[in-house]
Amino acid sequence: MLPPTRTHSSTPATSAPASPSASSASGRPILLAARNIAKNYGAHTILSDISLSLNGGDRVGLVGANGAGKTTLLRILTGELAPDGGSVTLAHGVEIGYLAQVTPDFPGSTIDDLIRESVGGLRRMEQQMRVLEAAMAMPATTEAEQQRLTELLDEYGQLATRFQDRGGYELDARIGQILAGLRLDYLPRDRDVVSLSGGERARIRLAALLLRSPDLLLLDEPTNHLDFATLAWLEAYLTASVTPASALLVVSHDRQFLNGAVTRIVEIGEHGERGAADHQLRVYEGNYDAYAAAKRAERRRWEEDYTRQQEEIAALRKRVRETARQVAHNRPAPDNDKMASSFFGGRVERTISHNVRAAEQKLARIEADPIPRPPRPLRFLARFRSEGAQSQAVALLEGVTKRLGRRDLLADVDVAITPETRLTLVGPNGAGKTTLLRLLLGQEQPDAGIVRRSPSAQFGYLAQDPTPLETIGAQLTVLEVYREGMTGPDANFIAGLIGYGLFQLEDVNKPVGALSPGQRRKLEIARLLAARPNALLLDEPTNYISLDVLEMFETALLAFAGPIVAVSHDRAFLRRFGGDTLELKEGRLIRRSVEEYLTLDE
């Protein structure tokens, strides 16, 4: 957490943004102003000339490709990371709250410890108000005492307003509201945080941040571990909690969440207006749907401009070739009227030569600064080229029970996976969905019942979170991790890795430790493709995937010829994926349609 007032900078900005203590054109206070932010890692430009203001009442979504610098920008805005150029300035008294994408450990802390720490600022503010109330109760008989009373009243009024804006008067009720909204109220307050599941730790971290009630809330992928009901609650809570004196900046890949929670999208772009790499920020008014429509229009204009220029280049080159031939054909032949032939032939040749030079000069100007070819839409070129499973029963769960302590995660469950299966598992966090996938994989054994798998089944598994760096080996390169367990020339693996459209040539020798969680997710997808499975088990497959990759990944899944079982809380993914839906609730599986489940949940 930052101190109340903070300014951090590197190279001074060429022109300062509006002072954060001032108001924007709309009259709302400017809480944070960033100007000309730049960040490089070695020879790689991550951010270039980024300028951004966050005003009171703003609800902004930050999007961009995996590795584009979204997390880097958030860390710079919080002061956790210094920029290589530019400055960030906070208004006086503004407090920033930051939720990192990767949940840290909390050794030795209980849930109650985190709650007390989170509300500590409000408790101290409340104590300060009590002190001021006691001072104001003292008699004020002299002019100096009356002047001091006026000052105390002014200070108390400002403090009370701030305390009210941050929910201090309803603090105890808010603790219960937030814990219930994030589905954490069933946990004992004395429970050690390190003993919680990954999803529970992520949600308790978010709860602690919301209880802190900062003026400026920066959230990096807050929806990764939230079920439908919790997502809907968070959307409503954030929308209601942003006041004219506070603001929200959120990185998210959840399209429906962005539609409900933000009113403006800012994008860190890989390409400028005509495709040149710029790493700059572009602003789109409206929610995700408005942003997506604007991006489609931009792409169409780029493709049209590129096609038009290519046609012009082809026409100019043709003109140069034809006029050059015309010069050769129009050289005067010997005849009796040599003077007339020379005069008229020379005029024709000079005219043709002038046209050639004009065409060549125009062609040179275009080729010196051409419109780049629009990048091909991301697609999985290899698809999931795999042999179909050779059995009508790819996998079966028969009367399976799995216990966690005294609780039945699964109670006498039957599931049949056939080559045509398209199945999504839904339900609250902790219901046992991941456990069911691990039973199908053979990574866990049932306490009762039978799990059968066809000998011809080759399962491809995508876990809920990227594999930890300590497991992968942070020093290994992208290429080394990609080709692990496979044999053949490096050139073949490089061609395959690039062919998926997930990485560029300059990425293949990067150490995995230098990749963002989203880039590591893309590497796992590449390995999944290379393994050529004939059945897929996917646990929250849209987690960490940036929006530029997400829809292409969904398209590849729709084209897959084998069975798919997917656990997901992504509402847009579920609607596009279709198939059957099984809700796991209190150990039982309930068959529903996607729309029925989403309607019930909403």
- DSSP 8-state symbol, 355: H
What does the pLDDT read at residue 350?
67
What does the pLDDT read at residue 34?
95
Would you say residue 375 has pLDDT above 90? no
Q: Beta 422-426 vs 44-55: how paired, if at all?
A: unpaired
Burial class (CB in 10 A: 0-12, 13-18, 19+), 335: exposed
Would you say residue 163 has pLDDT above 90? no
The stretch 153-174 carries a mean pLDDT of 76
For residues 452 and 200, the model is more confident at: 452
For residues 542 and 42, the model is more confident at: 542
Would you say residue 370 has pLDDT above 50? yes
22-26, 74-78, 117-121, 380-384: which range is least confident on average? 380-384
* Per-residue pLDDT tens over the stretch 311-347: 999 998 888 887 766 655 655 555 555 555 555 555 6
pLDDT bucket at 2, cuts 50 / 70 / 90: very low
149-153, 398-402, 444-448: which range is least confident on average? 149-153
100-114, 266-280, 542-556: which range is least confident on average? 266-280
Site of tokens 């054909």: 329
Provide long-range contacts, Cβ within 8 A and 24+ apart, for 365-368: 366/309, 366/312, 366/313, 366/316, 367/313
The stretch 579-585 carries a mean pLDDT of 89
What does the pLDDT read at residue 17?
44
Handedness of CA 498, 502, 505, 511 (dihedral sign): negative
Give one word for 581, left, alpha or beta, with left for phi > 0 and alpha for psi -120 to 50: beta
Rg of the chain taking only CA atoms, in angstroms: 31
* Per-residue pLDDT tens over the stretch 250-308: 999 889 999 999 999 999 976 555 544 467 889 999 999 999 999 889 889 988 999 99
d(CA 87, CA 8): 6
What does the pLDDT read at residue 108?
64
Contact present, 27 and 18 (Cβ < 8 Å): no
Burial class (CB in 10 A: 0-12, 13-18, 19+), 85: buried
